[in-house]
Amino acid sequence: MATVASKLYSDDVSLLVLLLDTNPLFWSNRSTTFSQFLSHVLAFLNAVLGLNQLNRVVVIATGYCSCDYIYDSSLTLSGNSESGRTGMPALFGSLLEKLEDFIDKDEELIKEQEHDERIASSLLSGSLSMALCYIQRIFRSGHLHPQPRILCLQGSPDGPEQYVAVMNSIFSAQRLMVPIDSCYIGTQNSAFLQQASYITGGVHHAPKQLDGLFQFLTTIFATDLHTRSFVQLPKPVGVDFRASSVFGQSKLDGASTVSDKKRKAPDS
Amino acid sequence: MSDWQVKYKSSLKDRGTEGILKLREGMLLFVPNDPTSDSKLKVLTPNIKSQKYTKEGSKKPAWLNLSNKQGDSHIFEFQNYQDMHACRALITKALAKCEEEQPKKPAAVLTSAEQLSIADLELRFKRLHKEFVETKVLTEDEFWATRKKLLGKDSIRKSKQQVGLKSMMVSGIKPSTDGRTNRVTFNLTSEIIFQIFAEKPAVRQAFINYVPSKMTEKDFWTKYFRAEYLYSTKNTAVAAAEAAEDEELAVFLKPDEILAQEARQKIRRVDPTLDMEADQGDDYTHLMDHGIQRDGTMDVVEPQNGQFRRSLLQDLNRHAAVVLEGRNIDVDSENTRSVAEALARVKQVSKADGETTKDANQERLARMSRLAEMEDLQAPQNFPLAPLSIKDPRDYFESQQGNVVNEPRGAGTLKRNVHEAYGSLKESILEIRTKGLRDPLIKPEVAFEVFRSLTQTISTAKNIIGKNPRESFLDRLPKSTRDEVLHVGKLKDAMSNSYSQLEAMKESVQSELRHQLSLLVRPMQQALDAAFQHYDADLQRRTAKSARGSAGEANGSV
C-alpha cells in the first residue's frame, strides 16, 4: 500500500505556504508599489502551481496587528466571480478579495489600539504559527501529502517583542522538518529571517532590485525540496546570531561589518 | 625508765653540761646537775627522728646524737658505752612503740583538729594533751601516736594531689590458677573493691543488703568472682543454670538495674533536637560480623540467655565514666561496708541534686519545644500579599531601540499616517484587480541581470566558503578520485620524461645555441622541479600524517 501511494505522489510535489507582508506602514513609503509587488508574487504563485499538478499553495497575509489565511489553492475552484474583471487570472480573484477584506479588518484593529509606539513590524510570529498549524493539519491528514515548506516574503523590520514567539516557531518548524525560506525586501537586515532559514535549512536571500523580484522568486524559491539536493542555491555568507531581542540590543543600521557576523560554513 | 649520768652538749664543740638523762614515757628529760643552768631539755619521743652514736672501737667517748624533726641535734656523752647502748635501745623501743600505737577515740580528735588553724591547733593541742594525758584517759604514747597520724594525713592532703582511680579495668584482673587443683584464686585489695563498688552499683547494693545479714564478706566476694569467672568462660547456658539456682549469684550475672535506671533518667533529659540518626549510623556493633566480646572472640548466643552476656563496650563506657567522675570518697578504710555505704550516700546526694522539681521540668520542656519547632505543625502564617506588577516589555525594548524607531511624532499624526497607509494599500489592490498583472511582468534585461548576479553570488560564495582559496577544484576531490583522475604515477613519469627530454635537447644543440635554448627551457624545467618538490613534500607530509594518525589511533585504542 505504501509503495503504491508513493508512486502516486512523485517526490517533487510541494506545498508552499507563502507569508505575505501587508504592513501598510512599510508599503507606504516604498518606491515599489504594493501592486507591482503583488503582480510579481501572483505570477510566481502561478508558476509554482504550474510546475506540478499536485502542487499546492497557501497564502497567509501578515498584517500590522493581525494575520489571516488569504488563499488556499486546494479549496478554490475555478473562478466564477472574477470572470467579469479583465486581466486578472480568475484563479486569484478570491485571493485579492480576501486580501482586501483582511486589510479592512486590520485597519479596524489598529484603530482600536491606543498606543502605537512600537516599531512598524508586521506580525511575523503570528503568521508563522498559522502556517505551522496548517502544515500540521496536512501532516495528520494521511500518508499522501506533499512536502511542505514556508516562504516568507518580508520587508518590515524585526519586532523584538516577537523574538521568543518567532524562535519558538522556528524550532517547531525545525522539528517538523519544514524549511523556512525567506526573501527579505526591506532595507535593513532581518536577523529573524536569517536565523529562521539557517536553523530550518531553508534559503535566505535579500534581493536588491525589486523590479526583478519575479526572477529571484522563480530562480531561488520555486525549487522543491527534492530538487534542492542537486541544485546549488545562493547561501548567505554569514548568519547574524546576535542576541537581538529580549534585552533589546540596538541594531546597527545599514550593513553590518563582516566581522560581526559569525562565519559559518553552510552544509553543502 | 632509767636515768643516766650524761653530759649534754648542744654541739660537738660544746664542753657539755653534766646532768641526768631521764627516759620517761614519751619523752626524754635532761636535768642538769647545776640547778642554775638553763640547759634543761625535754625531747618528746615522737619527735626523735634518728639517733647516731659513736662506735665502741673508736677512741671517742660514747656519744649519742639525737636529731629531732625540727632539725636540732642533741648530743649526750655517756660515761660508758654500755649506758649509751642501753639508752639507745630504750629509745629505739620507745620509737617503735610509738609507731605501733592505734588511735583511741579517733573521731573526737579528728573533728576537733580539722577545724582549726595551726596556731589554734597548737593551743588546743596543748590543752588536749593536758586534758587527756593528765587525766590518764590516753597514755602519752597513744596520744602522740594519734597526733602523728593526724599530721601525716594532713601533710598528705596538703602536699600531694588527689589520687584518682586506676585506668585499668577491674575485669582485667586475671585470677591465678593452680595448675594442680581445680581452683582459681582472685586477689582482692581495697582499691579493687572501691572500683567494683563505683562501677557496679548493683553489686554495691547487693553488698549492703546481703552482708553481713545473709552471708559473710568472704562468701560475697566468692560468689561475685564466681560470676566473673562464668562471664569469662562465656558459657551462657551454665550461667543461666547457675543463676536459676542461686539468687545471689543471679544478681551478679544480670545486667545492672541501677545503672539502667540512671541511664533512663539521663535519656529523659536529653534535648529532643539531638540528631539521633547520626548516632545510629555509628552503631556498628550490631552489624553482622562485628562485635568484640571481652576476650576478643565472638559467638552467637541464644536469645533467652542474652541477658547473661555483657559487651566490652558497656564495660568500657562504664569504667570510663567512673574514672572521669573521680574519687569522691575520702573513706580510706578496710571496712568494705563503710565504703559501700559511703558510695551509696554520694550517689543519693548526686541524684537529689540532679532531680529537678516539677516546675523546673515544665520550664525545661517549654524551652525545648520553643527551640525545636516543627514546621508542619505551625499555624499557617498569612503574610500580606504584594500585588504582582508586570510591566509592558515593550517599554524596555523601545528605550533600547532609540536609533531605529523614528522620532515619535505623536499619536495623532501616527494614526493619520496609518490611515493613509491603509488607504494607499487598498488603492493598490484595487489597481491590480482592475488592471491585472503587469505586462510584461519583468523586463528581460532585468531578468538577465538577476541571473548574472545570482550566478556570481553562488560561485563567489563557493569560493569564499571553501577552505583554501588557492586550492583548485582538483584538491577538493578525495584523494582516490584525484589519483584516478590524475594518474599520479603516470603523470610523474611523463613529467620526468619531459624533464629528461629537455636535458637531452640541451645537450643535442650546439654549444653556441645551447645558452639560448637553456634560457628558453629553464622556466619549464623550473616548473617541473617545483612540481616534483611539491609532490615529494606533500607525500612526505601525508605519510607523516597517516603515521601519526595511526599511531594516535593505536594510543587511543590502548
pLDDT value of residue A30: 80
Q: Where are the domains of chain A?
A: 16-78+88-229
Q: How many beta-carbon pairs below 8 A join chains A and B?
A: 157
Residue B294 has pLDDT above 80, yes or no: no
pLDDT value of residue B13: 72
Q: What is the CA radius of gyration of chain B?
A: 59
pLDDT value of residue A161: 85
Please choose, from the candidates B117, B309, B327, B166, the residue with its C-alpha nearest in 3D space to the C-alpha of residue B227.
B309
> What are the beta bridge partners of residue B317?
none
Q: Give the residue from A25, A35, A37, A239 with the most B CB atoms within 10 Å of its CB, the best one to mutate.
A: A35
Cβ-defined contact of B437 to A237 (cutoff 8 Å)? no
pLDDT value of residue B289: 54
Helix (H, G, I), strand (E, B) or coil at B402: coil
pLDDT value of residue A101: 92
DSSP A209: -
What does the pLDDT average to over A71-82? 67
pLDDT tens string B69-90 = 777 777 888 888 788 788 788 8
Rounded Cα distance between B150 and B107, Å, is 11
**Banded model confidence at residue A170, pLDDT cuts 50, 70, 90:** very high
**Average pLDDT score, chain A:** 80
CA distance B416 to chain A (A): 10
Residue B358 has pLDDT above 70, yes or no: no
Q: Are B312 and B231 in contact (CB under 8 A)?
A: no
**Banded model confidence at residue A57, pLDDT cuts 50, 70, 90:** very high
Cβ-defined contact of A28 to B458 (cutoff 8 Å)? no
Three cell numbers at A203? Answer: 534559503
- A116 has a chain B CB within 8 A of its CB: yes
The chain B residue lying nearest A42, using CA atoms, is: B437
Residue B434 has pLDDT above 60, yes or no: yes
C-alpha angle A229/A234/A237, rounded to 5°?
120
Q: Are B343 and B204 in contact (CB under 8 A)?
A: yes
How many alpha carbons lie under 13 Å from residue A256 in its C-beta half-sphere?
18
Residue A258 has pLDDT above 60, yes or no: no
Please choose, from the candidates B27, B31, B22, B19, the residue with its C-alpha nearest in 3D space to the C-alpha of residue B2.
B22
Partners of residue A103 in chain B, C-beta under 8 Å = 422, 425-426, 429
Those of residues 40-99 in A touching chain B at CB distance below 8 A are 40, 42-43, 64, 85-89, 96, 99
C-alpha angle B524/B529/B533, rounded to 5°?
150
Q: Across the interface, which of A22, A96, A106 has its CB nearest the CB of B432?
A: A96
Residue A197 has pLDDT above 80, yes or no: yes
Partners of residue A220 in chain B, C-beta under 8 Å = 454
**Banded model confidence at residue B468, pLDDT cuts 50, 70, 90:** very low
DSSP B281: H
Q: Are A182 and A204 in contact (CB under 8 A)?
A: yes
Rounded Cα distance between B521 and B501, Å, is 11
The chain A residue lying nearest B399, using CA atoms, is: A248
Least confident of A208-212, B225-229, B392-396: B392-396
| Class of the CATH domain delimited by A16-78+88-229 | alpha beta
CA distance B435 to chain A (A): 6
Look-up of cell digits 654500755: B82
Residue A177, sorted as left (phi over 0), alpha (psi -120 to 50) or beta, turns out to be left
pLDDT tens string A101-124 = 999 998 888 887 765 566 778 899
pLDDT value of residue A153: 93
Q: Across the interface, which of B398, B443, B457 has its CB nearest the CB of A234?
A: B457
Residue B410, sorted as left (phi over 0), alpha (psi -120 to 50) or beta, turns out to be left
Partners of residue A89 in chain B, C-beta under 8 Å = 436-437
- A266 has a chain B CB within 8 A of its CB: yes
Residue A183 has pLDDT above 90, yes or no: yes
Cβ-defined contact of B424 to A248 (cutoff 8 Å)? no
pLDDT tens string A130-141 = 999 999 998 888
Cβ-defined contact of A237 to B424 (cutoff 8 Å)? no
Least confident of A202-216, B391-405, B455-469: B391-405
Q: Are A77 and A169 in contact (CB under 8 A)?
A: no
Cβ-defined contact of B405 to A103 (cutoff 8 Å)? no
> What are the beta bridge partners of residue B30?
B21, B41
What does the pLDDT average to over B476-483? 64
Q: Across the interface, which of A35, A43, A160 has its CB nearest the CB of B401?
A: A160
> What are the beta bridge partners of residue A69?
A60
**Average pLDDT score, chain B:** 70
Pick the residue with more confidence: A56 or B388?
A: A56
Q: Are B31 and B20 in contact (CB under 8 A)?
A: yes
Rounded Cα distance between A203 and A234, Å, is 7
Partners of residue B400 in chain A, C-beta under 8 Å = 247-250
Q: Residues A232-235: contacts with CB within 8 Å, 24+ apart?
A: A232/B458, A232/B462, A233/A203, A233/B458, A234/A203, A234/A205, A234/B454, A234/B457, A234/B458, A234/B461, A235/A203, A235/A266, A235/B461, A235/B465
What does the pLDDT average to over A75-94? 61
pLDDT tens string B315-324 = 777 778 877 8
Rounded Cα distance between A52 and A13, Å, is 7
What does the pLDDT average to over A61-77? 86
Three cell numbers at B250? Answer: 543471679
Residue type at position A196: A
How many alpha carbons lie under 13 Å from residue A110 in its C-beta half-sphere?
31
Rounded Cα distance between B43 and B29, Å, is 6
pLDDT value of residue A128: 95
Residue type at position B171: S
CA distance A71 to chain B (A): 15
Rounded Cα distance between A236 and A208, Å, is 14
CA distance A103 to chain B (A): 7
pLDDT value of residue B272: 65
Residue B61 has pLDDT above 70, yes or no: yes
Residue A242 has pLDDT above 50, yes or no: yes
Beta strands B73-78; B176-177: pairing state:
unpaired
pLDDT tens string B515-556 = 788 888 888 888 888 888 888 888 888 888 777 665 555 554
Q: Across the interface, which of B424, B428, B442 has its CB nearest the CB of A214?
A: B442
- ipTM above 0.85? no
Q: pLDDT > 90: what percent of chain B?
A: 0
The chain A residue lying nearest B406, using CA atoms, is: A119
pTM of the model as a whole: 0.42
Q: State whether the Cα torsion B484-B485-B488-B492 is positive or negative.
A: positive
CA distance B426 to chain A (A): 7
pLDDT value of residue B463: 67
